[in-house]
Structure 1
Amino acid sequence: MTPLTATATASRGAPPPAPETGLFSLADLTAETVSRLVERTLELRRDRTAHADPLSGAALGILFALPSTRTRTAFTVAAVRLGAAPLAYGPGDLHLPTDEAVEDTGRSLGSMLDGLVARPAGSLDDLRRLSRHGHLPVVNAMTPEEHPTQGLCDLATLRLTLGSLDGLRLLYVGEGNGTATALALALSGVPGCEATFACPPGHGLPDGLLTTARKRAAPVGATFTCRDSARSLPAGVDVVYTSRRRTTGTGESDAAWRERFRPFHVDEEFMTRRPGALLLHDLPARRGDEVSGAVLDGPRSVAWTQASMKLSGAMAVLEWALGAQDDRGAKAGL
């Protein structure tokens, strides 16, 4: 692996910002690049040794300022299996909470690290700035705007369980959070996909995201429908997907949220009306809130396959983001 820190240390002053590199949003990638990452995820799931230690000698920062069980574990183990040395940072370990500029943090980390996986307390823009000013590949491990590696994991899980995704019919029920955003962008490259997103009023997908997803979906005939009511939702679907309200477990300021989300609860009756549909859930789950325990643990749930897919997904993303900088999807004209 070619060291990625040389440009950050070559000059005496702060180097000028560079083009950002890494994985920030699935909107930055073409459908072809998304598909290749999904297929590579499946290859590494079948054989986790199907690589030549592409990150041997690399130092990878693992920054999680918010809780994580699966994503943090997956990227830490993935780094080790690909030959990198992971350095873990918790919410109070860097000077960002003490008001150090994001740009200054990026310059410092970029002079020592070969890459960074981050779930920040801030926004997606903070990750882009870290990358530009640190000349550092950065992987978005979830921001309020999007959870892109979850979207890749979801597609890989569906490929594994259903085979071809062409014509997939999916019903998403719950909060229009970063998982839902990544899912919409991931599905926008699936030919003939019919996706319905049912979210309580005021908790739907961002308008700008829908515009982007629909524009990306038009060439392959994929469609997106949004509902703010749980009435008359489609029954003929292949997949039901739900997600926990406030997935990181951060404080809930709205005491009445359960009442608004109750009609969107996925229980046995909900699934009985959709015979043959699989259940996806990004976890963590609140049994009894967004989903019943009987459904989550039942025979149609692939949530646990979905969770285990995160490891090979993290390996595929790290291999690509740190080792294939010439394969930048839309940025390389692919």
Structure 2
Amino acid sequence: MALRHFLTLMDLSPQELAYLIDRSITIKRELAENGPVYTPLKNRTLAMIFEKSSTRTRVSFETGMTQFGGHALFLSPRDSQLGRGEPVGDTARVLSEMVDAVMIRTFSHESIESFADASSIPVINALSDDYHPCQLLADMQTWTECRGPVKGKTAVWVGDGNNMCHSWINAARQFDFHLRIACPEGFEPDQDILEAAGSRVKIVRDPLAAAEGAHLITTDVWASMGQEEEQAARMASFKGFQVNEAMLDAADDDVMFLHCLPAHRGEEVSETLLDDPRAFVWQEAGNRLHAQKALLEFLMVGRID
């Protein structure tokens, strides 16, 4: 099987991504019906490198490997020589001799690319400053489970043009839906990523106007990890960009709300929005487990047809 990495959604074809979504839904259903009896990764090890804190990412990958019969090995900067200055490529070569795949959650996307360039085993981006593709697999699974095919539909991103926004832009390209981005001036996504999406993606400055008729609305915290010192300034800049029940009322009757979590209630979302029946954030969070199991299977075993 040829070596494959998953650093952004663009690393797989639209057909492969569609397969992963279908496969994740199947894996979820079979787990509910039969329990964790399917173990395609028996005696396989996933090294998990965390330079940023995590709840959903660590729990979902570690649980997924356990349910598939494998093992997940947690490595923080304190637990590896990366934290003491070992070159990324050297660590990649060492781990390639010992484990079967590597998952990395870090700051610099270039570091993940360098790691993958030196690795002879699959490398998964579990979040970088530029992208969060694993979250989008769970998001696309949730949207598809609840509303059917997403092709041709309209999603709205409200907030900062950050790593999540970049991955939503890539998702619009790969899954063929329209994306409106409602962000304040000065907080736009990367121009090259935006331009690559062409007419599928556009910026709309008024969030309420962006929400009109939309099938899905999503957002993220206003200050991501590493931006905590900007919190006060960002609170002022994003005033008026809170997603609330009124914004969902302006959307399609079957609108869904998603949030990658953790959420700051009363900031980027209203205090009560996560409890609204149109919010699917808990199902979305749970789908991290199933989507990533499908990804691990695909990268280490191949397609199951």
User: Is TM > 0.5 for Structure 1 vs Structure 2?
Assistant: yes
In the alignment, which of 279, 282, 285 is matched to residue 304 of structure 1? 282
Match of 1:65 in 2: 51
Corresponding letter in the other structure for 1:53: T
Match of 1:190 in 2: 175
Corresponding letter in the other structure for 1:95: Q
Match of 1:323 in 2: 301
CA RMSD, Structure 1 to Structure 2 (Å)? 2.1
State the identity %: 28
Does the Cα contact within 8 Å between 1:65 and 1:92 map onto a contact in 2?
A: no
**SS of residue paired to 1:252:** helix
Does the Cα contact within 8 Å between 1:247 and 1:284 map onto a contact in 2?
A: no
Match of 1:286 in 2: 264
Please state how far the C-alpha of 1:307 moved relative to its aligned partner: 0.5
Pair 1:111-2:89 in alignment: no
**SS of residue paired to 1:21:** coil
**SS of residue paired to 1:241:** strand
Does the Cα contact within 8 Å between 1:130 and 1:136 map onto a contact in 2?
A: no
Aligned counterparts of 1:301 and 1:141: Cα–Cα separation in 2: 24
Aligned counterparts of 1:143 and 1:284: Cα–Cα separation in 2: 16
User: Counting helix residues as a fraction of each chain, which structure ranks higher?
Assistant: 2
Please list the CA deviations of residues 188-234 of structure 1 after superposition, one character each: whole Å capped at 9, or x if unmatched.
2334x2210111222221111122223xxxxxxx7211134446334
Structure 2: where are the runs of 5+ without partners?
none
Please list the CA deviations of residues 58-97 of structure 1 after superposition, one character each: whole Å capped at 9, or x if unmatched.
1211111111111111000011111211111123211223
Alignment of 1:112-261 (within 5 A): 112-121=98-107, 123-191=108-176, 193-214=177-198, 223-230=200-207, 232-248=209-225, 251-253=228-230, 255-261=232-238
In the alignment, which of 51, 63, 74 is matched to residue 77 of structure 1? 63
Please state how far the C-alpha of 1:305 moved relative to its aligned partner: 0.9
For residues 203 and 20 of structure 1, do their structure 2 counterparts lie closer, same or farther at Cα, with a shift above 3 Å needed? farther
Structure 1: where are the runs of 5+ without partners?
3-18, 215-221, 328-334
For residues 50 and 166 of structure 1, do their structure 2 counterparts lie closer, same or farther at Cα, with a shift above 3 Å needed? farther
**SS of residue paired to 2:174:** coil
Does the Cα contact within 8 Å between 1:198 and 1:230 map onto a contact in 2?
A: yes
Corresponding letter in the other structure for 1:198: A
Please list the CA deviations of residues 117-144 of structure 1 after superposition, one character each: whole Å capped at 9, or x if unmatched.
11024x2222222233231211110001
Please state how far the C-alpha of 1:52 moved relative to its aligned partner: 4.3
Please state how far the C-alpha of 1:171 moved relative to its aligned partner: 1.2
Does the Cα contact within 8 Å between 1:67 and 1:249 map onto a contact in 2?
A: no
For residues 246 and 149 of structure 1, do their structure 2 counterparts lie closer, same or farther at Cα, with a shift above 3 Å needed? same
In the alignment, which of 275, 295, 302 is matched to residue 273 of structure 2? 295
Please state how far the C-alpha of 1:269 moved relative to its aligned partner: 2.3
**SS of residue paired to 1:139:** strand
Aligned counterparts of 2:203 and 2:127: Cα–Cα separation in 1: 23
Aligned counterparts of 1:184 and 1:246: Cα–Cα separation in 2: 19
Aligned counterparts of 2:230 and 2:151: Cα–Cα separation in 1: 41
TM-score by length of 1: 0.83
Please state how far the C-alpha of 1:166 moved relative to its aligned partner: 2.8
Corresponding letter in the other structure for 2:168: L
